[in-house]
Amino acid sequence: MDDGNNESSDLTGSRPRRIAIITAGGDAPGMNAAIRAVVRSATVAGIEVIGFRRGYEGLIRDLAEPLGSRSVANVIQRGGTFLETSRSVEFRTPAARGLAARNLKRHQIEALIVVGGEGSMIGATIFGAETGIPVFVIPASIDNDIPGTDYSIGFDTAVNTALDAIDRIRDTAFAYERVFCVEVMGRDSGFIALAVALGAGAKAVVVPEIPFNLDDICDRVEDSHRRGKRSTIVVVSEGPRTGGVIPVAEALTARLHMQARVVVIGHVQRGGAPTARDRLLASRMGAGAVKAILDGAVPSLIGEERGAIVCVPLGEAVNRRRLLDPLLIDLVHQLST
């Protein structure tokens, strides 16, 4: 492995000639907008961009293709990623990362931009430290669990998709005076569930970060029905830490003596056209990544904090943890009375 003192890692005071970009991990609406912003910002600066398909796997397999301004036309409104993505188990090995680095250097790549989530950021940090190739991460994850940024690309779209579904579900819930338990994505992160619960006016929300009691949820729903409420929505974050939506629905069914209906929104939340918010965020972050490279910044996460685009050194970002605000759980309860 290189010791990090190679020519490609010294961008200070010189304009890079060629950079690379990949999308890695789970796809998120707005990734295409980020690629577009990187390519067009780099083109204006006189920098060539090489895209590698299939994420880190593409670096290993050398799935390279040049990206020009016209190649990113008409993609800003598209969900997913036209560069495709994957979760590469092989990239976790030093040998595979070494092969990826050699491929980048053969293409005379002077910096790498990774558009992806927390796992992709960790991989980028390790890869950059081992090879000396400057790596910059644009946070894209519907889970919004990436430290160093208030929002990640795709979160707003995922929340709005889930809200649209719940708005439709509520029509039926009201007509039949039913309880609906809705499972949203997030796994180890409750940001989607909490945002959806607040936006949908849910009676209760279950997230992996905060312990919950099924009896408490049943008490809240039973009390609201006793007071004449016609319909109830309970939002549950997926994953092993919550147990998913089924145990919640079963507990409510047993208590209320009426079947609580289950809806799992699932991967619908990952797809579709990105919202205006995600397109704007992706465009600003993509341009910010190119600016960071031109400025000779240290390998960084390109985040948004309090409305401003910031560069957070990767060494700092990977050691942070993005925490859910437990007071928002109380707000869900307060507003659902």
115 occurs within a structural domain? yes
From 2, 3, 27, 143, the catalytic residue = 143
What are the start-end ranges of the E strands in the chain?
18-23, 48-52, 64-67, 112-116, 135-139, 179-184, 204-206, 232-237, 261-264, 300-305, 308-313
Domain total for the chain? 2
Tokens of 153: 């690309």
In the chain, the amino acid numbered 41 is: S
b/e per residue 326-337 (b: at least 16 CB within 10 A) = eebbeebeeebe
Please state the rounded mean pLDDT for residues 56-76: 97
128 and 102, same structural domain? Answer: yes
Residues 140, 144, 147, 152: is their CA dihedral positive or negative? positive
Q: Which of 213, 243, 270 is the last residue of a domain?
A: 270
109 occurs within a structural domain? yes
- CATH number for position 306: 3.40.50.450
Report yes or no: 268 and 183 within 8 Å, Cβ to Cβ. Answer: no
The model's pLDDT over 125-161, given as tens digits with 9 standing for 90+, comes to 999 999 999 999 999 999 999 999 999 999 999 999 9
First to last CA, the chain: 60
Report yes or no: 17 and 47 within 8 Å, Cβ to Cβ. Answer: yes
Q: Which of 213, 239, 270 is the last residue of a domain?
A: 270
The residue written with tokens 């067009």 in the block is 40
281 and 150, same structural domain? Answer: yes
- State which residues form the domain around 26: 7-154+274-317
143 classed as catalytic: yes
328 occurs within a structural domain? no
185 and 256, same structural domain? Answer: yes
**Residue 197 pLDDT level (bands cut at 50, 70, 90):** very high
303 and 160, same structural domain? Answer: no
The model's pLDDT over 219-257, given as tens digits with 9 standing for 90+, comes to 999 888 888 777 899 999 999 999 999 999 999 999 888
127 and 63, same structural domain? Answer: yes
335 occurs within a structural domain? no
333 occurs within a structural domain? no
Which are the contacts of 313, defined by CB distance < 8 A and separation ≥ 6? 298, 299, 300, 301
183 and 69, same structural domain? Answer: no
96 occurs within a structural domain? yes
The model's pLDDT over 116-129, given as tens digits with 9 standing for 90+, comes to 999 999 999 999 99
Report yes or no: 132 and 4 within 8 Å, Cβ to Cβ. Answer: yes
Q: Return the number of other C-beta atoms located less than 10 Å from residue 200's C-beta.
A: 23
